[in-house]
């Protein structure tokens, strides 16, 4: 009995064809940027002087710079599930250190969003996989089991509070850095940002 065997190269080619639309869109985007502003990309090369550090959720519906109508280079961005500011997470710690000490941003924004899948997962029965472990800080917050909006807002407040105690932030404040912490929430339904807590400035 004969079995048909697929050519692996054809699968690779097919996968590449599926992404060709993204490459085409990239070319169109780059062309439109230079048409409107011929020096757009040349200004970005070799410079990054953002005033803002955005700590947001990985959700693809929450594009950080687009929401606040900023160009690339105007905001440094770190994203993870449920916008956590976990001090002992090396990925987050490295981003925070770079933002505060190297880029010397003036504002750190913790931005959650309503309808967050991470918040919903934290309200579901606990799991013992990577996602379950990551969301443990959210699950520990006091909240109404049926109110995802409330937990989203409490989580934002908790992450801003964690930042205010973070050694990197405290060290910057000790040096007299102009660094302010903010807690915002984004509503996907209307596209608007709202203040949840802050601003918190140098307590020294």
For the annotated catalytic residues, the residue numbers are 57, 59, 61, 113, 116
Question: Does the annotation list 116 as a binding residue?
Answer: yes
Vertex 97, ends 81 and 44: CA angle to 5°?
85
DSSP character string of 25-88: HHHHHHHHHHHH-TTHHHHHTT----SEEEEEE--TT--HHHHTT--TTSEEEEEETT----TT
Place of tokens 């009995």: 1
Question: Does the annotation list 113 as a binding residue?
Answer: yes
Nearest to 114 by CA among 145, 135, 83: 83
For residue 107, list its beta bridge partners: 52, 180
Question: Does the annotation list 57 as a binding residue?
Answer: yes
Between CA 76 and CA 68 the distance in angstroms is 13
Question: Does the annotation list 170 as a binding residue?
Answer: no
Please return the burial class of 53, using the count of CB atoms within 10 Å of its CB with bins 0-12, 13-18 and 19+. buried
Nearest to 78 by CA among 101, 102, 111: 111
Between CA 112 and CA 184 the distance in angstroms is 6
Binding residues for Zn(2+): 57, 59, 113, 116
Binding residues: 57, 59, 113, 116
């Amino acid at each position: 009995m004969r079995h048909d065997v697929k050519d692996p190269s054809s699968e690779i080619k097919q996968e590449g064809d599926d992404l060709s639309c993204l490459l085409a869109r990239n070319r169109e985007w780059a062309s439109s940027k230079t048409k409107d502003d011929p020096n757009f990309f040349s200004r970005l090369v070799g410079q990054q002087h953002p005033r803002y550090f955005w700590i947001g959720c990985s959700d693809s519906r929450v594009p950080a710079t687009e929401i606040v109508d900023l160009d690339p280079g105007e905001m440094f961005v770190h994203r993870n599930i449920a916008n956590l500011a976990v001090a002992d997470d090396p990925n987050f710690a490295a981003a925070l250190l770079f933002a505060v000490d190297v880029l010397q941003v003036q504002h750190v924004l913790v931005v959650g969003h309503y309808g967050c899948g991470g918040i919903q997962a934290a309200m579901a029965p606990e799991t013992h996989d990577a996602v379950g472990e990551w969301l443990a800080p959210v699950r520990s917050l006091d909240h109404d089991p049926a109110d995802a909006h409330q937990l989203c807002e409490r989580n934002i407040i908790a992450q801003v509070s964690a930042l205010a105690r973070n050694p990197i932030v405290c060290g910057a404040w000790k040096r007299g850095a102009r660094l302010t912490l903010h807690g915002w929430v984004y509503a996907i339904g209307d596209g608007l940002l709202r203040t949840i807590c802050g601003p918190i400035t140098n307590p020294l």
